[in-house]
Amino acid sequence: MNTSVNLAGVILKNPVLTASGTFGSGIEYSEFVDLSKLGGVVTKGVAITPWEGNPTPRVAETTGGMLNAIGLQNPGLDVFCERDLPFLSKFDTAIVVNVCGHSEEEYVKAVERLAETNADLLEINISCPNVKEGGIAFGTNAAKIEEITRAVKKVARQPIIMKLSPNVTDITEMALAAQNGGADAVSLINTITGMKIDINRRTFALANKTGGLSGPAIKPVAVRMVYQVAQKVSIPILGMGGIACAEDALEFLMAGATAVSVGTANFHNPKVTEEIVEGIEAYMKRNRIEDINELIGCVK
């Protein structure tokens, strides 16, 4: 039975990765999960310099999901390269570094710096809804996506995955823009912008007023978008949005994702990623699927 997939030229032992921002750099979750059993670890977004992030409250629960407005707090690439990358390198898993920036120049500098490291893939976060500069301001403009993709590809050593926002009229336009700019893959969806009011305090539940909605509530939107993008682009898709079990992951693969990222579900069950790997294998056995690649995009 083959569970390995090829994501933009990198062979993953299975299609299960973690979603950026929910799993740190794997250090905290390594108490619960054998990281070597995962297809890859996608790190929390990292920028060239440390970012302080937003004021609290930064998270709020909603029915079937949650809102977050962390604001991409991160230690910057110096600490990340000294501490987090060597930690992840101890495991037999692909290292996918999520990169954020306030400007095109910052993305380029970060990608340049990461070219000297052993990271396997880079995921470029142009879709964070919780930061004022960079983030979603770039991810909702097709021309800007193409321009940034081209700029980072020029200096990149690793394959580039552009992470797309669902907060657009037509996500396939954004995916095509990334492909035209030379992206090796796209990942989708980032969180959906939302809001919650705390009726007892009579104010916003999040200090940032708005936040990104994630969790099982957004899964049908994500599956639909992965399917639509799969019909339009030829580059592979890393699918995510509300995956909480093997059945959810299989929906994304069948809709056209080559691999999936599991995010918010880690907060409900820190062992969930490993359980999803096992669940996919059990499904394949039960249905006599020899190669997982038979399932990718099998629903047309």
Partner 1 sequence: MKRYESLTILESSCLQEGIYSMTLDARAIAQEAEPGQFVCLYTDDLSRLLPRPISICDVDKETGTLRLVYRTVGFGTKEFSGKSAGDTITVLGPIGTGYSKVAEGAEAPKRILVGGGIGIPPMLLLAKEWKQAGYEVIAVLGYRTKDTFLLDDMEKYATCYVATDDGSLGTYGTVIDAIRENNLIPNGAENETVIAACGPMPMLRGLAGLAAERNVSTYVSLEERMACGVGACLGCITKTKSVDAHSHVHNARICTEGPVFDVKELCF
Structure tokens at 261: 């990222």
Would you count residue 87 as binding partner 1 (CB under 8 A)? no
CA-to-CA distance for 143 and 86, rounded, in angstroms?
A: 36
User: Residue count at the site for partner 1 (CB under 8 A)?
Assistant: 42
DSSP class of 23: S
Q: Is there binding between residue 256 and partner 1 (CB under 8 A)?
A: no
**Taking CB under 8 A as the rule, does residue 264 contact partner 1?**
yes
Near partner 1 by CB under 8 A: residue from 15, 21, 134, 194: 21
Query: Taking the complex as a whole, how short is the minimal distance between the CB of residue 236 and partner 1, in angstroms?
Result: 26
The whole-angstrom separation of Cα 272 and Cα 246 is: 9
Among 202, 208, 257, 200, smallest CA distance to 228 is for 257
Residue with tokens 């079990």: 245
The number of angstroms, rounded, from the C-alpha of 32 to the middle of its chain's C-alpha atoms is 21
- Quick one: 14 or 266, whose CB is closer to partner 1? 266
Q: Which of 105, 269, 278, 298 binds partner 1 (CB under 8 A)?
A: 269
For partner 1, give the closer residue by CB, 198 or 294: 198
CA nearest neighbour of 93 among 141, 160, 23:
23
271 part of the interface to partner 1, by CB under 8 A: yes
Piece of the chain touching partner 1 by CB under 8 A; list 2-10, 56-64, 179-187, 273-281: 56-64
Instruction: Work out whether 17 is an interface residue with partner 1 (CB under 8 A).
Output: no
Start-to-end CA span in the chain (Å): 24
Residue closest to 109 by CA, chosen among 56, 144, 156, 147: 156
Q: How far is the CB of 55 from partner 1 (least distance, A)?
A: 9
Q: Does 106 help bind partner 1 (rule: CB under 8 A)?
A: no
Does residue 267 interact with partner 1 by CB under 8 A? yes
- Which residues are CB-neighbours of 99 under 8 A, at least 6 positions away? 45, 46, 47, 107, 110, 111, 114, 122, 123, 124, 125, 152
Tell me if 44 contacts partner 1 by CB under 8 A.
yes
Q: Which stretch binds partner 1 (CB under 8 A): 8-16, 45-53, 167-175, 284-292?
A: 45-53
The residue among 123, 167, 118, 173 whose CA lies nearest residue 145 is: 173
Whether 118 contacts 41, CB under 8 Å: no
- Max alpha carbon distance in the chain (Å)? 56
Range in contact with partner 1 (rule: CB under 8 A) among 74-82, 112-120, 139-147, 221-229: 74-82
Of positions 14, 17, 38, 51, contacts partner 1 by CB under 8 A: 51
- Residues 156-215 binding partner 1 (CB under 8 A) are 215
81 is catalytic: no
107-146 residues in contact with partner 1 (CB under 8 A) are none
Tell me which residues are annotated as active site. 128
Q: Which residues bind partner 1 (CB under 8 A)?
A: 21-24, 27-29, 31-32, 44, 50-53, 56-61, 63-66, 68, 70, 73-76, 79, 215-216, 244, 264-271
